[in-house]
Structure 1
Amino acid sequence: MSILRMREKFFRAYTMQIDHALILCAGMGTRMGEIGKKIPKPLWPVFFKTLLELQVDYCHSLGIKRLFLNTHFLSEEIETHLKSNPKFADVIMLHEDPLLDSGGAIHNMASRGDVNYTGNLLLVNADQFLFFDQKYFTDALSALENSRAALFGIKVDKSAKYNETVLENDLLKEIRKTDGSYDYITYSGLGILKLDSLDHVAGISKFFETVANYKKERVHFVVPEKFEYWDFGTAEIYFESIQEIYHSLKENKHSRLMDFLQENKALEGNVDAFFNDELRSVNLEGNGEFFANAIVGKGIVQKLN
């Protein structure tokens, strides 16, 4: 049995504890260069599937049935993508105008009549993937029983440019910038939130102010000792990650991400042509012709210009 199938079997035991998932897709794409002005980040391909498709696969593998995603920038392209694939039949798109920030996005979803601030919510960033041993998910679900949130932290090198999350007895106490002199723990973007009894806040709001307010409520952190963290959040990091995936495939290197991509058919196609012909021809300051060749023909995005 593959790692992914084992993980899926394990997580399905906890389906009743996770009622909804929200995939954050409303960013402006400013870190994706000129191409990001034409293609919304969730529709950037990881070979033969988009980031959004893979995040939906990830949520489905956990047995979560009610999926939401928020949109703002280039929302028409994302809507077209959703309508093009029956896999997205259970995905509800929530368009934001104005952009609500991550806290506002959660409140916007939670205030719907069919949610009404009930149940537990898995929060997922469209451009990041975190894989870890099953026990850490068990720990998070256990911690959620007496916490507002159970968030997954990751240990990063001192040179990483993230905010540090300061913990005390596994509870979040402070968020701060570091001076680059030590390794530290940061929030990965993946977490489980308890919506029950969360105070409703309308409009624009910050995640750590109106949802996981660690100054007023218990916000638990689970920090896996071993994990795989894959980031596709900037144009440069995206291409580095795609290159690493390609070389892992050619060298038959196994990882949790590679298992995940294989299981979900993201690598079923001419990966050599994708990497050597299309990917290497990309000019980050160009007009998105790479994506016209790579994904428009598949009906993922209908209009670039």
Structure 2
Amino acid sequence: MIKTCFIASAGFGTRMGNLGKIIPKPLWPFFNLRLLDLQVAYAKMLGCEKIYINSHHCHEEMQNWAQGKDVVLLHEPTILGSGGCIHNLKKYVDDEIIFIINSDQFYFFDFSQINEDIKRMLEDDAIAHLYAIKVDHDATYNETKVIDGKLSSIAPHEGTSSYLTYSGVGILDLSKVPQLEGESSFFKTVADFKNKNVHMSLPKEPIFLDLGTLDKYIDVISELEKLPTVIKKFVAAIEELDGVDFKSTSTMEWAGVTFNFDTNTISYEGKDYSF
């Protein structure tokens, strides 16, 4: 299996409301851990031994979190974008096939297929194998069209049917990624499907959990009992969360953050924030 994982974590936190300006989204609590704690556990579950995480917004808080953890934090004083962060990673890791994930999403599927996907990548000289999700026709994501297992186009969706979009999870052959400086886009300088082979597939019976916006985050934590079984098992297997109760209450306190679903407020360090 893959031994190295990169967790994209260098956003601005703007989709998390005013509190997102103070707590970087990767460090929002999930039970009494942080989202990044769960992502590190997820990467290790996949067999990854080396974990790299980029940072920009609230970097000092990210540094404090990383103290004593078996991860490498790659600070971006100027944000490098979805492509630039991968090019920057090449300064530390090269000639490896790595797993890439986002800090605010979880994707569960039959991971035994990853080795087959790597085999097809190597046979076809592909730079990446990306995993898609199916979304409703009125979703606001770009549509990724796949022909014969290869990504062929990305464009705004038109029509009334569900469609595929990129999940943010994939396998990447760093040896095929050029060394570039500065900000760039993932699909222009890394998974450049117009000039390189980029594989994409929709896994069988996938489970996707998105906590990337304040609304989605609140929807999840306010109804923990509705979490898919596979995610409950994953969370319950994390040592620090042994015996966790998957039940939401009107008021919950996680890692110094209080959520009040009666008043629709989040309290942190003596201040209230509405949601």
User: Aligned to 1:190, what secondary structure does the other structure show?
Assistant: strand
What fraction of aligned residue pairs are identical, expressed as a percent?
Answer: 35
Q: Deviations over 1:5-34 (max 9, x none)?
A: xxxxxxxxx2xxx24211111100000001
Structure 1: tracts of 5 or more residues without a match: 1-13, 294-305
TM superposition shift of 1:189: 0.2
**Deviation at residue 58 of structure 1 after TM alignment:** 0.7
* Structure 1 counterpart of 2:99, one-letter code: L
Q: 1:111 aligns with which of 74, 91, 94?
A: 91
Match of 2:204 among 225, 228, 235: 225
Q: CA deviation at 1:139?
A: 3.3
Partner of residue 154, structure 1: 133
Deviation, structure 1 residue 137: 2.1
TM-score by length of 2: 0.88
Q: Which position in structure 1 is the counterpart of 2:119?
A: 142
Question: Which residue is equivalent to 1:5?
Answer: none
AA partner of residue 64 (structure 2): T
Amino acid at match of 2:121: L
TM superposition score normalised by structure 1 = 0.80
The match for 1:276 among 251, 259, 263 is: 251
In 1, the alpha carbon distance for the partners of 2:37 and 2:46 equals 15
Task: Choose between structure 1 and 2: higher strand proportion.
Answer: 2
Which residue number in structure 2 is paired with residue 235 of structure 1?
214
Root-mean-square deviation (CA, aligned residues, Å) is 2.2
Distance 1:55 1:164, change over 3 A: same
Residue among 180, 189, 194 paired with 1:215:
194
Report the Cα offset of residue 155 of structure 1: 1.4
Which structure has more RCO (C-alpha within 8 Å, separation ≥ 6)? 1
Equivalent in the alignment of 1:10: none
Amino acid corresponding to residue 139 of structure 2 in structure 1: A
Alignment partner of 1:95 is 2:72: no
Aligned to 1:296: none
CA shift, 1:276, in A, is 2.7
Give the unaligned 5+ runs of structure 2.
Answer: 253-257, 271-275
How many residues are paired up? 262
1:260 aligned residue:
234
Partner of 2:273: none
> Partner of 1:196: helix, strand, or coil?
helix
Higher alpha-carbon deviation: 225-234 or 136-145: 136-145
